[in-house]
Amino acid sequence: MRGSGSAGMQGITRVTMWGDTVFEEGAAQGLVEQCDYVYTRLLPGWGVGRFRRRAQAWSGADWPGRPEMKLLIFGASGATGRALVSAALAEGHLVTAFVRTPRKLAISHDRLSVIVGDVADCKAVEGAIAGHDAVLSCLGVGVPLKHDAAVIAGIGFIVEAMQRSGPTRLIYQSFLGVRDSRRQLGPLLGGIVVPLVLRHEAADHEAKERLIAQSGLDWTIVRPPKLGNGPAIGRFRHGHGIRARSLLPTLARADVAAFMLDQVSDKTYSRTAVALLP
């Protein structure tokens, strides 16, 4: 993507995204200060955090914009949860990881706090939520391919606790294939794999999505496809009507984590479910 300078982007005459990022004829600090304009005005929904990270890395300038936030992450010891914790810490946020098995988290940081608890314990959930700016959930299922009533109940407890004591911003990781998103996967995954093999997981996510959608909170549901463990590359699509371009679309967990983190402050997909696809 290339864009020429404008009155809102003084001193920047060219931007190249997703390759080697190139900025010409702009002071380093001025470049970083214009990131909000680029993402909120020119590229809504792309995620201001990704652009900030690239601009800051290129320029060496400190980012003066987004303030430090206190984020609570459920499911933090899972693969995507760990990626989300790492991304949030890298952006300078205070992170609380709610985990059942702390040894699986394997992350230590002076801005990371760990709460050991069960999401099915309503008192533990409510005690954890108070005092945070936003809540993010990467909760999966206890046993793959099986129904997990405890996690459904846990999402209900999270919603109820947020309704009582705040915060109101909730980012929830579901998966592509839930409800009306099934048709976005094509005939193999959407027509066979999800309804036959993943039917219990899909039903559980549908139940959890309903609880969130009816909550009255400021929520965003993120629906990625099959997840992989490769590095974040930043090259993926997001939206409501996008469709898979391959039989088995896969997205890096690090990319999903970065997108979820960006949604905390980017309200483009507020109170809607957004699909992610390579």
DSSP character string of 159-177: HHHHHHH---EEEEE--TT
Q: Identify which has the larger pLDDT, 14 or 233.
A: 233
Strand order in the sheet with 237-239: 112-116, 94-99, 70-74, 134-137, 169-173, 218-223, 272-277, 237-239
**b/e map of 30-68 (b: 16 or more CB within 10 Å)?**
ebbbbbebbbbeebebbbbbbbbbbbbeebebebeebee
pLDDT in tens, 137-160: 999 876 677 788 999 999 999 999
| Whether the Cβ atoms of residue 255 and residue 229 lie closer than 8 Å to each other | no
Higher pLDDT, 6 or 259: 259
Average pLDDT for 64-73: 79
**pLDDT of the residue at 7:** 36
Closest CA to 182 of 164, 168, 196, 166: 196
Instruction: pLDDT band for 53, please (50, 70, 90 cuts).
Output: low
3-class SS at 234?
coil
Say what the pLDDT of residue 66 is: 55
Q: Which amino acid is at 163?
A: Q
User: Tokens 């996967």 — which residue?
Assistant: 185
Given pLDDT bands bounded at 50, 70 and 90, which one contains residue 189? confident
Domain ranges, ordered by start, for the chain: 7-59, 70-277
d(CA 183, CA 190): 6
What gap in Å lies between CA 184 and CA 277, rounded to an integer? 9
Query: Between the ranges 10-19, 35-44, 196-205, 207-216, where is the mean pLDDT highest?
Result: 207-216
| Mean pLDDT (whole number) for 211-217 | 97
d(CA 232, CA 226): 15
Take residue 81 and report the two structure tokens written for it: 């949860």
* 10-31 per-position pLDDT tens digit: 333 333 343 333 333 344 444 4
Per-residue pLDDT tens over the stretch 103-129: 999 999 999 999 999 999 999 999 999
The CATH number assigned to the domain with range 70-277 reads 3.40.50.720
pLDDT above 90 covers what percent of the chain? Answer: 59
Q: What was the pLDDT predicted at 193?
A: 86
Contact yes or no for 209/273 (Cβ under 8 A): yes
